[in-house]
Amino acid sequence: MRNTWRGYNTSFATCEKAKNNDMSANDKSNTPSTAATGSAPASNFIRHIIEQDLQSGKHNGRVQTRFPPEPNGYLHIGHAKSICLNFGVAQSNHGQCNLRFDDTNPAKESQEFINSIKADIEWLGFQWSGEVRFASSYFDSLHDFAVQLINSGKAYVCSLSPDEAREYRGTLTSPGKDSPYRDRSIEENLDLFARMRAGEFPDGAHSLRAKIDMAAPNINLRDPVLYRIRHVEHHQTGNKWPIYPMYDYAHCISDAMECITHSLCTLEFEDHRPLYEWILESLDRDSLHAASDSAAPAADYVLPRQIEFARLNINYTVMSKRKLKELVTDGHVNGWDDPRMPTISGLRRRGYTAESIRNFCERAGVARSAGVVEVAMLEHSIREDLDAAAPRAMCVLRPLKVTLTNYPDDKIETLVLPSHPKDESMGKREIPFAKELYIDASDFEEIPPPKYKRLSPGVEVRLRGGYVIRCDEVIKDASGMPVELLCSYDPETLGVNPQGRKVAGVIHWVPAQQALDVEVRIYDRLFNKENPDDKNIADYKECLNPESLVVLQGCKAEPSLANAAPESSFQFEREGYFCIDRYDSNAEKIVFNRTVTLRDSWAKMSS
């Protein structure tokens, strides 16, 4: 077995050399993406490897990738990067990408997660090749290959308890020791495995392990478990199987059966690659070919190649599925699709577009070493998209009534404003103008600070698309808070600057009588620390931002929004980008979620 291990070291070194030769290409992937302009995706080391394989004729000129999510939660923005990479390299090389659910751990999986994953992939704009696939569809073949490993003396049934197995495994600095059951005969192993399959034993009584090397420097090669007993009903196969394969065993064989050419995965699987290769090389290639989708002759059948890339990490965010699930189950957020969550469903509900996420993933690049991407880059991507695509509208978040004392009581004008100042194709919108209106309370100060450019007593401002008004009197409640402003308007200033007078600024407004009552949810970052996973922080939940959601009732929006569809996005002038909530809005109530503020710090930093 020592020679086998040295062989994998040689293979690993060869791959590392190839990676180093591609470093210059990888550096390019960290520059801003060209995807936003519609040109070719940025190069990276994986694309270079695939180009070399195509030029050499490896895999008969084919590119077949797969996206293999485990259906134990909703997909997050890190999965979006993997989706864009796997589907993207297949598309750009005229290949195909499979969707295969790694459903080997049914105790944590559900149909809800399967449905959400499929919906997320389609929403992002990708379509998998053929039917949706499941590792569970291959359980019969996986079982047969396990029997083949037993017959060849490369697998055995171990009866150590889980605690004993951990003790025998050794540590990262000390070798393990052989299981006392390692030298069972082939006949005994076959018998025990058949009885495991028949459901005779309780959970944990036995496991099927690969026979590799308990002294291997790579701990993943120390006789890893291939099958374990789990008396759990499966969401696809019911109660057919009381034993389930481990991911490392099922994944590589599933890749080979689907004729995957490039198995792209994140860096945590780099140390698993020798096991990936050991399993495939330990099986009879003709058997793998016979069980595969390949229509090529057996002589042309090529095993898949695993290539690792750095996972996506974003500051002010946690990406652990375990922690995201904890946030949901403990009630810190309102479900997997809460707009504060980094899940694809959450981002979509918040108002992020599929294009903005694809562009962000392209900008983030594909690297070999782990790093942290600024969340400001993600926010920049959606601002960039919505700045061009979102119609403008006015919404007053904290209404303060204004009465124009010199405006006729029975007069209503119709003001016409562009839906987008830079895109005439979006048309125009009509807004009624009358004696009473609302402005935002933040746009008035009775005692203004220096250089204040909004409304205050005796000061004039322009209403967006309307007249110049002046505050003449302030009406207050019993606590001394302003509740109404009595103002006068200049009828000669519609679209015209007043002569000889200085206007402080421009503020937004809505008509009082025709305004829509709406609910506005102000979303902010879920965590207030840049690295919630910092080892010096005892519990990442200590970093939760108590102001991550502020719900504003009684907001007033312009009437042109009355028939806007769910998920429609708008720029609320001077406030930010907002979308209509896809679930909570209805004929009786319109709910807007703030997608992102107007200020773009990343664009300034990156320019």
List, by residue number, the catalytic residues.
70, 311, 321
**Cα–Cα distances in angstroms (integers) from residue 79 to residues 117, 276, 320, 388, 512, in the given order:** 10, 21, 11, 27, 46
* Close Cβ partners of 133 (under 8 Å, ≥ 6 residues apart): 98, 99, 100, 101, 254, 258
User: Max alpha carbon distance in the chain (Å)?
Assistant: 103
Q: Which of 57, 80, 55 is nearest to 69 (CA)?
A: 80
Letter for the amino acid at 480? G
Q: Yes or no: say if 30 and 365 are a contact pair by the CB < 8 Å rule.
A: yes
Q: What are phi and psi of 397, to 5 degrees?
A: -80, -35
CA distances (Å), origin 160, targets 208, 210, 235: 11, 14, 29
Between strands 225-229 and 207-210, the pairing is antiparallel
Among 229, 213, 223, 276, residue whose Cα is nearest residue 248: 276
The CA distances from residue 460 to 321, 456, 509, in Å, are 54, 8, 15
HSE at residue 575, side-chain half, CA atoms within 13 A, is 32
Closest CA to 332 of 75, 549, 579: 549
C-alpha closest to that of 258 among 141, 382, 430: 141
Task: Report which of 12, 23, 14, 71 is spatially closest to residue 46, judged by C-alpha positions.
Answer: 23
Q: What is d(CA 224, CA 213) in angstroms, rounded to the nearest whole number?
A: 9
129 is written with which tokens? 């090749």
Are 548 and 525 in contact by the 8 Å Cβ rule? The answer is yes
DSSP bridge partners of 395: 557
**CA gap 563, 549 in Å, rounded:** 26
For 151, the token pair is 């017959």
